[in-house]
Chain A
Amino acid sequence: MSVKTNIPPATKTFDPARRSFLGSAVAAGIALAPGVFLYGIGTAKQVQARSLDEAASSSVRWGMLIDVNRCDSGCDECVTACNTENGLQGHGRPETDAQWIRKIELRDPASGRQNSLPVMCMHCEDAPCVDVCPTGASFKRPDGIVLVDKHTCIGCRYCISACPYKARSFVHEALHDQKTHAPRGKGTVESCTMCVHRIDDDRQPACVEACNSKGGGAMLFGDLNDPDSEISKRVATYATQQIRADLGLNPGVRYRGL
């Protein structure tokens, strides 16, 4: 399945991301707004994914919907795929080895109900890691993906302390045989990139692909800003949850059946 970068009509509204888009449009000036306006009045609904020399657009909000009912306790295909894709090799030291995505087993002590679900960077709209980073190395792309600039991260680990989802890892040793599309660095912090290199190449994140091909098909990736995307339709149809919704961070990763 290919990812379509649909730019929504200007007349449609979509809550916080829309607001931040408007904010950034004001800040960014007049370059972006007329384009969106033209798309709004134009007839073509579908546009091609952006080219690599084009900046990420805030009209898109990449996100995931994870159906916990379809996530099997014994399955960790998403974790394996992430490790392979991003070259995360363990060193046999579980306390310091990086984990960008992990499976959490839940049990309600009152009812005994059990669930299994993957947890990774939630790509929050109001990301605490971005707020606390002293150098701005932790940043959010306009399309909602939260990343670490490996050139300006000083390794202070404040973002790890600030992340409510325990989604970040610190590189505790020298690395070898890195993937060129997922650069890492000793002494810097890292986390799930939502496979940004794949997204920019019009492909799905590795975990989602693996879940759908080998796992239970629990993970859905797409543009939360596009009302016609599958993820938006499902979020609009079914009750979905955010982890630690009380913090008001508006995570890009949602769950169903939690």
Chain B
Amino acid sequence: MTVYSEIDGTSTKFRALAIVLGGVLVAGLVAATYMEHFGHYVTGMSNHIVWGAPHVFAIFLIVAASGALNVASIGTVFGKTMYKPLGRLSGLLALALLIGGLAVLVLDLGRPDRLIVAMTTYNFKSIFAWNIYLYVGFIAVVVVYLWMQMERRMNRYARVAGMVALLWRLILTTGTGSIFGFLVAREAYDSAIMAPLFIAMSFSFGLAAYILVLLAACRGSERELGDVIVQRLGRLLGVFVAVVLYFTVVQHLTNLYAAEHIGVERFILLDGGIYTALFWIVQVAAGGLLPIALLLRSPPSDRSTSSRRVALACALVIVGGFAQIYVIVIGGQAWPLNLFPGMEVRSTFNDGVVASYTPSLPEIALGLGGVALTGLIVLFGLKILRFLPATLANSSLDPKMLHESSH
């Protein structure tokens, strides 16, 4: 039977981390107030690029939230007992990421004060309206799922709750991808592949975030974390990263085949400046190929080196993930709408011109504020409730799984 315990909230490390995260969160709130007071002209956004850096942060966090629940699903839905002790943290992180992402999304609205309007007035033809239900529902579903996992008398329902949560998050990420997939007029979006691509991204980014949080939590609270778990999660992440690369290849090959989309593909893949650099260097090389090389080769025998290697790969996946969402969201808007195919156009409103965007400090501060909120929820969650096993040493694991891992 796994024993769970709270982390020590009186340690210097805990307090220092809480103060740093709290400071970043306050900076984010100040930035949001500043943008709200003066209006969005103080940001890098414009009438041509209407979703900027805050959306990149928000979408990353929301997508990662869905994937952070992978570990819980593997334990309770797919019956892999080795993952069961990891399930509670998985649920907590999923909640924290979603709340952090939603906070950024809401605070970047033109009228965040009208949140109540968004919650009470719906147009059900809008995928945005659906997403409001999907996001709020996800919070409820994960809370129930955590309860089933943490309350011993309710454990027998954990599998059902886990199944509901799994289906819910697949639908949720389909909804997030479809925000872009349903935009018929935008050449970089308008594709059914956005939904499965976003699901693959969620698995990859969410698991990377989970492994990093697990490593940090165990290290910070001086709990033993066996290399079997870390290596196994790392190999799984390697597979997810490969799946994201696969969908990315299909996404661009499909677009390249259509003559009408060659312009936008040339922009992203060849001469789009920052977007091309982010795509090839950060998203594909640093965030895709390098993590695969680190994760899927046989680990070094030294335990701390192998953990560091997995941690490095996770960090690279997260950086690559931000780059990928930046290229999709901002690169996709930078490419001009094609009102008159085959014609050269010019106007006072940037028609026919690639739009420029430079993230402003308040936008980045707001985005980082969302990350800090996520961190604070995890930190205080671990302090208040028993999310983390007292030990995750190899010897604490299910012997059958250990045996499998040794082969």
Contact = CB atoms under 8 A, between A and B. Distances in A.
A134 B129 contact: yes
Main secondary structure, interface of B, reads: loop
B349 interface: yes
A54 to B, nearest CB: 25
Interface string A79-112: 0000000000001011111110011111111100
Chain B interface extent, by class: 35 or more
Interface in A171-208: 171-174, 185-189
Contact of B50 (A91, A93, A97, A161): A161
A95 B41 CA distance: 9
A69 interface: no
A173 B39 contact: yes
Nearest to B43: A172
A170 B123 CA distance: 20
Interface residues of A, number: 55
A164 B337 contact: yes
B126 A133 contact: yes
Interface string B18-53: 000000000000000000101111000111101100
Contact of B40 (A130, A135, A187): A187
Contact of B47 (A104, A110, A169): A169
B111 A153 contact: yes
Given A108-B343, A109-B343, A187-B40, A163 B128 contact: no
B346 interface: yes
Interface stretch (B176-184, B209-217, B301-309): B176-184
Contact of A96 (B41, B51, B122): B41
Interface of A: 91, 93-99, 102-110, 119, 128, 130-136, 152-158, 160-166, 168-174, 185-189, 243-244, 247
Given A104-B347, A158-B179, A187-B39, 18 more contacts: A97-B47, A102-B349, A105-B347, A107-B343, A109-B342, A132-B128, A133-B128, A134-B128, A134-B132, A153-B114, A154-B111, A154-B112, A164-B185, A164-B337, A169-B47, A170-B40, A186-B110, A187-B111
Interface of B: 36, 38-41, 45-48, 50-51, 109-112, 114-115, 117-118, 121-123, 125-129, 131-132, 179, 182-186, 333, 337, 339-340, 342-351
26 contacts: A95-B47, A95-B48, A96-B40, A98-B47, A102-B349, A103-B347, A104-B346, A104-B351, A106-B344, A107-B344, A108-B343, A132-B127, A133-B123, A134-B129, A135-B122, A136-B121, A154-B110, A154-B115, A162-B183, A169-B47, A170-B47, A170-B110, A171-B110, A172-B46, A189-B110, A243-B340
